[in-house]
Structure 1
Amino acid sequence: MKPIVPILGLASILWLFLGPWWLSKMVCSTGETTTFNVRDGKFNAHSAETFSFLKSSDEIQFSKGTEAAFKKVAKHLKDNPNKQLMLTGLYDNDEKNASSYENLGIARAERIKSLLIKYGANGDLISTTSTPTDNLSFDKNRKMLGGVQFLFADGDAGNDDSSSISQENGNSDLGASSSFDPGSSMFLDITEVSSEFAENESFKNYFADLKNYLTNNTGKKLYVTCYNDDSKLAKNITRKVKATIEKLLGMDEISIRRKVGKEADSPNGVAGVKIEIR
């Protein structure tokens, strides 16, 4: 039994020096994996890996699996000419913009739009916009996972305005025939207790159809999920977002549920709030 003692001692010494390094590699590799998922009602385009952008760049990188998901989205648009897709690109104000667009958010959204057109989608059905954020996550290689949000809606094509999804529909009397897709969701860059998100153009577009839909479907529940590693902050954010939406809706009978989750579980792998109907 005695020879075992030196071996265990040596193993303990090796673990003391190499253990922390091995564990850090395991944690880092786990945190860098984020899936790609786009939903529109029963339609779902999924990939085990998502696309990525380098910091201060609109050059997109993606796997074969993600390419297949892009092609599926393009085909969905091609097969449903009544659909419109809004692409919202995220960017950090600290990033350097060398693109020909106003900001990197637009440039990144336009990059994905060009891919979808390449795969067969009608460009007239796709609009692009952007939103700045101060909490984009870049890894040690200056790479950001995701960075462009997808939002489907029904409406007329051919409007080149970046808010074509669709304030016109939101201001019209849709009545009981509202074509709002309850499968769509909205992800907002909310990392502090504030109601400023209500002024976000993408939110206004989504909320207009959302309100019309809920007016005629009072049995539905609205879920507000805050993804933030600070659970206490996440709870306070969901309370504020819930209260703001309730005030905007003006409907006491609408049930709004609050949830919290880790940042790594969010649609884009960053802190924020997702709004959806179930």
Structure 2
Amino acid sequence: MFTNKTPWIVLLVVWMAGSTWWHVCKIKQLCADDASAPGLSVQAPAVSLTDGTRFSIGLPGSFNFAKSGAVPNLAGFDAPLDSIATYLQNNPDRQLTLTGYYTASETNDSSFPNLGVARAEAIKALLVQRGVSATSLLTTGVERGDLTFNAKGDSVNAGVLPSFGAMTAAAPKPDSAAVAIANSASATPAAAISTAAPVTEEALAKAEKFESVFKPIDLYFPSGSSDYIRTNETKKFFKEAIGYLRKNKDKNLVLTGYTDNQGPDDTNLALSKKRANAVKQRLLSQGVSSSQVESSGKGEADPKASNDTDSGRKANRRVTVVVQ
């Protein structure tokens, strides 16, 4: 009846292939390249951040994060962050709100109440390191069911969105308590240091003075961060220390991490080690030999101030650095 079966065979094969594709890609949505799959999107295009007519800057994209991660992808963001920091420093009446987003399907392994806050705090830490006062930065975390991922589903788009507004609280005057800590650190027993007045991590960091690589200097960290606040004094210390270590292979840089007494002992010990190791990794990236850098953590041991006050606890969250 059908003398030439070839066309029918071809049609059958096409029909089977089309049916299979439709079932797998459209019904099951298992095709990795399907751009219409829900919850997935391509990399966000370049965006801009403005503060009315006072400030405007183009960003290379949104602040993206690995799924369940709180470390931002900062490719191309160094210059924009520098400009934002300069603007905030020159305009103390303005405040930047950093809103971090997360989905219910992500895992929060940070010390913050949710992953959104952790992501916002990561961007805040980068600006504080550039000299922005912590009072000029607000952070918050919001769960979003419509938060998008990249095509592979392993990176969150727009994990933090920044917006400018008026300063909601007056910035504190220069902190005399922090200055007192710096002036009396060499003569006062560690636990007797007074921190009765409010002290910020930024003020504590700025109060540290470089005298010699053989005299310990303390590094301070924004809450929950393992990236220390950089100052001109810490830059001087590390420049001298790195130069000295390169000429003296028998000497070592000793990093010791500490925390306050809030939370479980094992968690504090792990955090103190993590912070000390983060400083070590930065030094290794600058060419310092791993055999000349020792890092350890002591948790809440050896407090330099009382843990009974918030300011004292901030003073205790540190990494001590010295050449031996």
Fold-level match, TM-score > 0.5? no
| TM-score of the superposed pair, with normalisation by structure 1 | 0.44
Bigger Cα Rg: 2
RCO greater where, 1 or 2, for CA within 8 Å and sep 6 or more?
Answer: 1
